[in-house]
Amino acid sequence: METLENDVVELQFDLGTFEGFNFRTQSAIERILSADEVLTWDHDKDGEAEFWPSGDSPGVALIFKGQTSVTASELKDLDRLLGELGGDSTENYLRIHVAQDHCSGNLATFSNRDIEDQDAQFYTGNSFIDLRREAAFELFELYYPDEYAVWEKSHCDGLIFDEDRFLDSPCFSTEELAFGDEKVLIVSPQ
């Protein structure tokens, strides 16, 4: 991030666009604002306002889902954290989301170490059914290699591996998300 003359921070990453409501005029802000415009909004001059993601950035929408508004400091914290993680990739947004759900704290208190310590697996594709199948077999092999080897070599027709029962067991926490056009399955060991 680069500091400008009037102490405004310039964002490293494109955090999408935002809609807003101006309390002075008691109306919606008639144009879509960039994240940089949200940072530089002068509440004294332009009117007290609140902002929320317009939805064009699935990562930003995921991080701020459930919030009624987003502050400039939250945008700065997200931008800082993405920089510490090495960029604004889909995986980094998902990692931050997992940290928000599983750790106490917020963007201001998270560091890259908090995010990197999360033990979550991400599966992306077009179908949750296919993603769950892929995840179940991969995690079965990873966590139970001996049992997986026996199961894989078995020629017994009655020996069935139920992917859903495996993933829905108390050993894992799963979350299914629509991330733009992609489907994402997040699996975290408990």
Write down the domain spans for the chain.
2-116, 121-189
- In three-state secondary structure terms, 159 is coil
Which residues are within 8 A (CB) of 17 and not within 5 positions of it... i.e. 6 or more apart? 32, 33, 34, 35, 53, 54, 56, 57
Q: What is the pLDDT of residue 112?
A: 84
Q: C-alpha 173: how far from its chain's center?
A: 16
Instruction: Tell me what the pLDDT averaged over the chain comes to.
Output: 90
pLDDT, tens digit, 9 for 90 and up, residues 57-69: 999 999 999 888 9
Q: Give the pLDDT mean for 165-185.
A: 93
Other residues' Cβ atoms within 10 Å of the Cβ of residue 36: 15
CA 17 – CA 159 distance, rounded (Å): 52
* Residue 123: φ, ψ to 5°: -125, 130
pLDDT in tens, 36-57: 999 999 999 999 999 999 989 9
